[in-house]
A and B are shown apart, each in its own frame.
Chain A
Amino acid sequence: METGKGRSDGVRVTFWGVRGSIPTPDEPQARYGGNTPCVLLSCSEGTLISLDGGMGFRWMTADLMAGKAGRGEERLHLMLAHCHWDHIQGIPFSPMMYVAGNRVTIHGRQSFEGGLKETLLHQVNPSYCPVPNFFLLRDVGATVEFHEITDPVFHVGPVRVTSLELPRGNRLACSGYRFEDQDLTVAYLTDVEYPLGDPGTSSAALELARGADLLIHDAQFLPEEVQERVNWGHSTWRQAVELGNMAGCRRVALFHHDPGRTDDQLDALEVEAARLARGPEVFVAREGLALDL
């Protein structure tokens, strides 16, 4: 797979993990992929932004090792939707984290007492974690920095980032993102559950997605499943398309597939979702897919 290491013309989006909740290395999910969330944005001036650090992050950063990351010269920004396992479990196994000289900035919001760093330190507590802990000073490889998001707008090199909190039923809020680079916009809204199932109720979602060239959106559930899944903190593919319609997006990638969703079901759902689209081109995100905007 070719990653595209920072582009001067356009943004390349590569899907490395599209599955929600838990990795599914199983036959019925083999085509769309079983790795948990990770999407790489290769932006201008060589800026690399990883959306989430699920199991896909392990393989994405292994791919970077062939280039600057292998020499300890890579600079990566990691944006976390939240700290659920499926969004962070690839970080400790990432080979580029063990190479001194690499610099990784983790952006996100605290999800429990003490903040983002403490949350991730709990993850790499040696009782659970079989590998050395690069968050602490001993054994360090990469330099890891933390950016606890307080100001909703910030810049990463030439990329303007907007991050707002998204509703998740009665659960802790989650961070949604909008990235703007050279007049191109990518919006990333995952692990979101709208009040009354209506994306129109969330001004944050509308603001992040407005006019995006690509909206990557949570599509964990089928519309018929959602009644029984209130407060699970996810959306349906229908809500993803509705937001794409309302916000005037050019493309909508259905993302964060339920671990039980089979490849055949995803094929069928893509056809149904496309029928509902008024404007955007709708597709199911698949591991290995690279898109040039």
Chain B
Amino acid sequence: MELTFWGVRGSFPVARPHARRFGGNTPCVQVTAEGNHVVIDAGTGIRRLGQRLLSQGCPRELTLLISHPHWDHIQGFPYFEPAYEPEIEISIFSILRDEDKLETLFSGQQHVAFFPTPLEQLPSKVRFLELEEGRPQDVAGFQILTHRLNHPGVSSGYRLERDGLVLAYVCDVAPSRDVLLADPRPGVSEEAFLQELFENQVRLAEGADLVIYDTFFTPAEYAERRHWGHSTLEDGLEICRLAGADHLFMFHHNPERRDEELAILYEEARRMGESQGLNVHVACEGQTWKLERGGLTACE
């Protein structure tokens, strides 16, 4: 399994000198395994992924998994050039949504007031599909599981499994301390619901080789912005410990975070990880990693 980070920044794209080293594009991660191909989230990073795909002979069928429809996770889609190729089919997955369907939201993003080409007029064949929570399904050569996460609106994480290798994408997520969902489960106490949302994270990461985690905040920042829907490295370490995961990637970096600062946070994080037998990495735009049974290696 190979993964490439095309966008690692949270909230909004940061085209400023302070974010040049780790990258300023919003979330997009490409996962491939023996010709199978899945893209997680469609932040601005997907623009250059699309160009790369077209220059290399793009697969005819593309699969996108969308964590949730906040702009930073969908804003690159109108600039995804394979969507303008008539022979290409794009399947876009989300967790089952009762209302506020992903298709309606994608179409709203490309309303003529905001963007010149409406979704319906894209030359490629675009279809929207939903995954039932907690039920693994075969999609594009991977077994995929999704669970809801504690984040404003309807957000979900993904677990991708193939040939005994497991990758988890847990973003955007807040610690299970306040319920941030608009529609808490009727008849379930807040405490029980928070526990369920916490366990969802652990289920996604259970025995994972690699977990991509929302480490937007430091603990001090989190204390001031508990309702924003983002987590900390410390929470990620706890999830990985309970789930028995091997590698954690710090991801969805705060747009204000300067490269020097992030490098220091990463050094601290690495040491904290070591003490619990976990390898911590920081997601850096443009980097490709190869995951094998023998372990994880960075590609040149």
Contact (Cβ within 8 A) B44 A112: no
Is A21's beta carbon under 8 Å from chain B?
yes
Q: Does B128 contact A (CB under 8 A)?
A: no
**A127-B116 contact given A23-B13, A34-B24, CB 8 Å threshold:** no
Tell me if A111 counts as interface (CB < 8 A to partner B): yes
Contacts of A171 in B (CB 8 A): 116
Contacts of B47 in A (CB 8 A): 22, 24, 259
Which of A23, A33, A232, A233 lies in contact with B44, CB distance below 8 A? A23
A222-243 to B contact mask, C-beta < 8 Å, 1/0: 0000000000110000000000
Interface size (B, Cβ < 8 Å)?
Answer: 41
When A22-B44, A89-B12 are in contact, do A127 and B112 touch as well, CB less than 8 Å?
Answer: no
* Size class of the contact patch on chain A: 35 or more
Indicate if the CB atoms of A126 and B152 lie closer than 8 Å: yes
Shortest beta-carbon distance, A128 to chain B, in Å? 5
Q: For residue B281, give the distance in angstroms from its CB to the closest CB of chain A.
A: 21
For chain B, residues 20 to 48, give those with C-beta under 8 angstroms from any C-beta of chain A.
20, 23-25, 44, 47-48
Residues of B within 8 A of A130 (CB): 11, 70-72, 152, 172, 228-229
Report whether B111 and A259 are in contact in the complex, using a CB–CB cutoff of 8 Å: no
Q: Are A123 and B105 closer than 8 Å at their CB atoms?
A: no
Chain B residues near A35 (CB-CB < 8 A): 15-16
Q: Is the interface of A mostly helix, strand, loop or mixed?
A: loop
Known: A25-B44, A89-B12. A84 touches B115 (CB 8 A): yes
Give the docked Cα–Cα distance between A83 and B111 (Å). Answer: 11
Cβ-defined contact, A233 with B116, below 8 A: yes
Question: In angstroms, how far is the closest chain A Cβ from the Cβ of B286?
Answer: 9
Q: With an 8 A cutoff between CB atoms, is A19 at the interface?
A: yes
Known: A89-B12, A93-B11, A123-B114. A128 touches B71 (CB 8 A): yes
With A35-B15, A85-B75 as contacts: A128 and B109 at CB distance below 8 Å? yes
Q: Do B70 and A128 touch (CB < 8 A)?
A: yes
In whole angstroms, how far apart are the Cα atoms of A232 and B13 in the complex? 24
Residue interface mask A92-113, B partner, CB < 8 A = 1:
0100000000000000000110
Instruction: Indicate if A122 sits at the interface (CB-CB under 8 A).
Output: yes
Query: Which of A22, A123, A127, A129 is packed against the most chain B CB atoms within 10 Å?
Result: A127
Say yes or no for B76: interface residue by CB 8 A criterion: yes
A34 touches B15 (CB 8 A): yes
Flag if B116 contacts A232 (CB, 8 Å). yes
Between-chain CB contacts (< 8 Å), 7 pairs: A23-B15, A23-B24, A25-B16, A30-B17, A34-B24, A122-B108, A127-B105
Give 9 closest A-B pairs by Cβ, nearest first.
A25-B24, A34-B15, A25-B15, A23-B13, A111-B113, A112-B113, A130-B70, A35-B15, A23-B15
